[in-house]
Amino acid sequence: MTNCGAGAPRARARRSHGDAPAPLRRRGRELVGVAAGAEGGRVARVIRNIIFDWSGTLVDDLPAVLVASNAVFRQAGVAEMSLDEFRREFCLPFKRFYDRYVPHVPLEQLEPWFHAAFREAQDQVTALPHARAFLEFCRERRVRTFLLSSVHSLHYDRQAAATGFAEFIDFSYVQVWDKRARIGRLLAEHGLAAHETLFVGDMEHDIETAHFGGVRSCAVLTGYNEVEQLRAAGPDLIVEHLGELQQVLIDGGMSLAEPRSEGKPGAATETPGHDGEPPVPTVGGLIFNAAGRVLLVRTRKWSDLWGIPGGKIKRGETATAALRRELREETGLEIDGIRFVLVQDCIASPEFYRDAHFLLLNYVCRCRQDGPVVLNDEAQAHQWVDLEAATGLPLNTPTRVLIDAVRAAPEFAAPATVR
Ligand SMILES: [Mg+2]
């Protein structure tokens, strides 16, 4: 885990990019600071303002930033980073990151290197799934929207135009090197009540910024930092993506209520037998191919550990129908030879991105043909691996339990022969 971002804010941020007051833009529509939701007498918890981070929250610029950062490292004569290393090590304010890896190169030199390479690569930047729908949701609910980002104004202009997101942001502050030093003034300039304001970001620095401003905070898993890093920063909420945040706000009457659909955690962990939300039944499948290898997927919501595809059973759906559907959605594979292996209690696993109580129905199966695996946006990587070799990978605990059970029972380890 990175050790970045734990210090106190500097009294005055460096300003080679023209930091505070950063470029201030105003969209041309009149602002109405009234949220549509209501919670009886508890209106203080309603979120009326959202401050967004940009990179990793609204757009996916990670591939382009990695290309540009490695161009910097090459020119500085230091080793390049893999994507995983970069996600672990990159931190804001980014001067801290560069001070650690290329302390012998002045920032005045690093910047032109970075921006030249980024300009070449930034056509790879794309809108994140759910981002546009979430911005439209904010507009419908008359939530005021702000941007507080370290992105360079030239890159922001191009990316905002390409995604069409600029029209959804009421005020944008870009080239802000240390957001902690800026958020107080942002709140004051717009008269935002801290308890009605939510900061959404993908990095520890974003959550720390929310703490500095005294506002609510939501971490998303669509960007740079991993679950463990984000959890350590202490956000009010961690969501997989903005689509989940939207559902949380709808369910909570525009407040930050805990999601209702995942087996409300505290009931099970703190007061067994408490009459709260019941556990959530899910299915998961260890898929064998014709060569006898099994498919593993790596997901951010399981702390970037390797696991099996699967998901929740829908009302009215049988468990095996849910298994076929989930595996098709998440891998593009059709399966046969389904065999039930075991059921696991999964209560508030620290490996899962938030507190939840699942009942995991675990199966083995085989894919009908060795077609290409097509992941949806829930997983970031996949691999086919021998069952024995799988045990040497960083697996999430339920998957390790399942694989151990399959290895111990030969009839499960060869489902390709099952008719
Ligand atoms: Mg970010």
H-type alpha helices, 141-237: 153-163, 183-190, 204-213, 227-233
Asked if residue 246 belongs to a domain, the reply is yes
126 CA distance to ligand 1 centroid (A)? 14
Residue 68 and residue 103 share a domain: yes
- Chain centre to alpha carbon of residue 275: 31
What pLDDT shows up at residue 383?
Answer: 97
- Chain centre to alpha carbon of residue 93: 20
Cα–Cα distance for residue pair 337/71, rounded to 1 Å: 48
What pLDDT shows up at residue 375?
Answer: 95
What pLDDT shows up at residue 275?
Answer: 60
Cα angle: 230, vertex 225, 104; to 5 degrees: 120
Residues 6+ apart with CB under 8 A from 324: 334, 335, 338
Residue 85 and residue 164 share a domain: no
What pLDDT shows up at residue 261?
Answer: 44
* Segment (H or E) for 139: helix 131-140
253 CA distance to ligand 1 centroid (A)? 27
Q: Which two tokens stand for residue 104?
A: 């012998």
125 CA distance to ligand 1 centroid (A)? 13
54 CA distance to ligand 1 centroid (A)? 6
What pLDDT shows up at residue 314?
Answer: 97
Specify the CATH number for the domain of residue 378: 3.90.79.10
What pLDDT shows up at residue 415?
Answer: 57
Residue 130 and residue 104 share a domain: no
What pLDDT shows up at residue 91?
Answer: 86
What pLDDT shows up at residue 274?
Answer: 53
Could you tell me the CA-to-CA distances from 201 to 218, 240, 250, 305, 331 in Å, in that order?
7, 12, 19, 22, 28
What pLDDT shows up at residue 277?
Answer: 80
* Segment (H or E) for 337: strand 335-347
Residue 85 and residue 136 share a domain: no
139 CA distance to ligand 1 centroid (A)? 22
Asked if residue 74 belongs to a domain, the reply is yes
322 CA distance to ligand 1 centroid (A)? 34
Residue 285 and residue 411 share a domain: yes
User: Is residue 1 within 8 Å of residue 146, measured between CB atoms?
Assistant: no
What pLDDT shows up at residue 273?
Answer: 55
User: Which of 93, 124, 155 marks a domain boundary?
Assistant: 124
Cα–Cα distance for residue pair 92/13, rounded to 1 Å: 12
Residue 321 and residue 231 share a domain: no
Q: Which two tokens stand for residue 195?
A: 């308890």
What pLDDT shows up at residue 69?
Answer: 93
77 CA distance to ligand 1 centroid (A)? 27
What pLDDT shows up at residue 26?
Answer: 34
Asked if residue 188 belongs to a domain, the reply is yes
Asked if residue 38 belongs to a domain, the reply is no
Residue 168 and residue 225 share a domain: yes
pLDDT in tens, the chain (419 residues): 333 332 332 222 322 333 433 333 333 332 222 333 333 343 448 999 999 999 999 999 999 999 999 999 999 999 999 988 998 888 888 888 999 999 999 988 998 999 999 988 988 999 999 999 999 999 999 999 999 999 999 899 999 999 999 999 999 999 998 999 999 999 999 999 999 999 999 999 999 999 999 999 999 999 999 999 999 999 999 999 999 999 999 999 999 875 444 444 433 344 455 567 899 999 999 999 999 999 999 999 999 999 999 999 999 999 999 999 999 999 999 999 999 999 999 999 999 999 999 999 999 999 998 779 999 988 999 999 999 999 999 999 999 999 999 999 988 876 554 43
Residue 129 and residue 94 share a domain: no
User: Which of 102, 124, 146 marks a domain boundary?
Assistant: 124
Residue 244 and residue 216 share a domain: yes
What pLDDT shows up at residue 94?
Answer: 80
Residue 207 and residue 218 share a domain: yes
Cα–Cα distance for residue pair 83/402, rounded to 1 Å: 29
| Total count of domains within the chain | 3
391 CA distance to ligand 1 centroid (A)? 33
78 CA distance to ligand 1 centroid (A)? 25
Specify the CATH number for the domain of residue 196: 3.40.50.1000
61 CA distance to ligand 1 centroid (A)? 9
Asked if residue 97 belongs to a domain, the reply is yes
Range of the structural domain that residue 173 is part of? 24-30+54-61+125-251
Asked if residue 308 belongs to a domain, the reply is yes
Asked if residue 396 belongs to a domain, the reply is yes
Residue 408 and residue 361 share a domain: yes
Cα–Cα distance for residue pair 69/73, rounded to 1 Å: 6
Could you tell me the CA-to-CA distances from 304 to 78, 190, 297, 409 in Å, in that order?
27, 38, 9, 28
- Chain centre to alpha carbon of residue 180: 21
Other beta carbons within 10 angstroms of residue 163's beta carbon come to: 18
Asked if residue 45 belongs to a domain, the reply is no
201 CA distance to ligand 1 centroid (A)? 6
224 CA distance to ligand 1 centroid (A)? 7
Residue 413 and residue 284 share a domain: yes
225 CA distance to ligand 1 centroid (A)? 9
User: Which of 90, 124, 158 marks a domain boundary?
Assistant: 124
